[in-house]
Amino acid sequence: MNTWIALLRGINVGGHNIVPMKELVKLLEATGFEQVKTYIQSGNVVFQSAGEPAALIGPLMEKQFGFKPDVFLLSGADLKKAAANNPFPGDGGKAVHFFFLENDPTSLDHELLDSLKAASEDYRLIGKVFYLYAPDGIGRSKMAAKLSKAIPGVSMTGRNLNTIHKLIEMAG
């Protein structure tokens, strides 16, 4: 069995795409996934599966909940590598954010990002992870708000460093 981490984009945000985590766990267990655990309400699922289940989760959720979220599937090793590559060491907690990209970006608009960047902020793109240091809060970050324009055509989902550490712990 392999340990997987599914990051579901846009779950339980602003009263949209509501998914009760207990129902999601039951759905995934009924499909054959094992040791299914969720973390907070924003679509973080750790589970075990013999094969790679990326193509299964979205259609299952569409059938059960009426919408198909983007599913970012990472192995435990992938998540640990993303954490190890974090260019902003220290106790960033809620200040450091990892944006996992669906595929390798063909471009990154540094000019746009630099024009939006607050003096306290910094960013790096390493592989398919965009790291954002926003010590004044992600909600105040103009750069975070326009990130999809700076990396056009690439679906992404973000998690803060606290969540990354918790998911690594849950994955074992």
| Parts of the chain belonging to CATH 3.30.70.1280 | 2-77
The upper half-sphere exposure of residue 37, i.e. CA atoms within 13 Å in the direction of its Cβ, equals 13
Pick the CATH number of 79-171 from 3.40.50, 1.10.3470, 1.10.12, 3.30.70: 3.30.70
Place of tokens 């009426």: 66
**With a threshold of 0.85, does the pTM exceed it?**
yes
Looking at the chain, the whole-number percentage of residues with pLDDT higher than 90 is 85
Tell me what pLDDT residue 33 has.
Answer: 95
Name the percent of the chain lying above pLDDT 70: 100
Of the candidates 77, 13, 90, the one whose C-alpha atom is nearest the C-alpha of residue 44 is 13
Residue position matching structure tokens 């970006």: 105
Over the stretch 14-45, which tens digit does the pLDDT of each residue have? 788 899 999 999 999 999 999 999 999 889 99
Say yes or no to pLDDT of 89 above 80: no
> Which CA distances in Å does 120 have to 117, 123, 132, 139?
8, 11, 11, 14
Using CA atoms of 22, 26, 28, 32 in order, give the dihedral in degrees to the nearest 10.
150
Q: 96-108, pLDDT tens digit by residue?
A: 999 999 999 988 9
Phi, psi of 124 (to 5 degrees): -150, 145
pLDDT at residue 90 is higher than 80:
no
Mean pLDDT taken over the chain: 93
Task: State the pLDDT confidence band at 114, using cuts at 50, 70 and 90.
Answer: very high
Asked if 101 contacts 136 with a C-beta cutoff of 8 angstroms, the reply is: no
The residues that bridge with 100 in the sheet, in sequence order, are 129, 157
Which CATH code of 3.40.470.10, 3.30.70.1280, 3.20.20.450, 3.40.50.620 fits the domain covering 2-77? 3.30.70.1280
Contact 145, 118 (CB under 8 A): no
Least confident of 66-75, 76-85, 88-97, 162-171: 88-97
d(CA 148, CA 54): 23
Number of H helices, E strands in the chain: 7, 8
> Which comes out higher in pLDDT, residue 128 or 41?
128
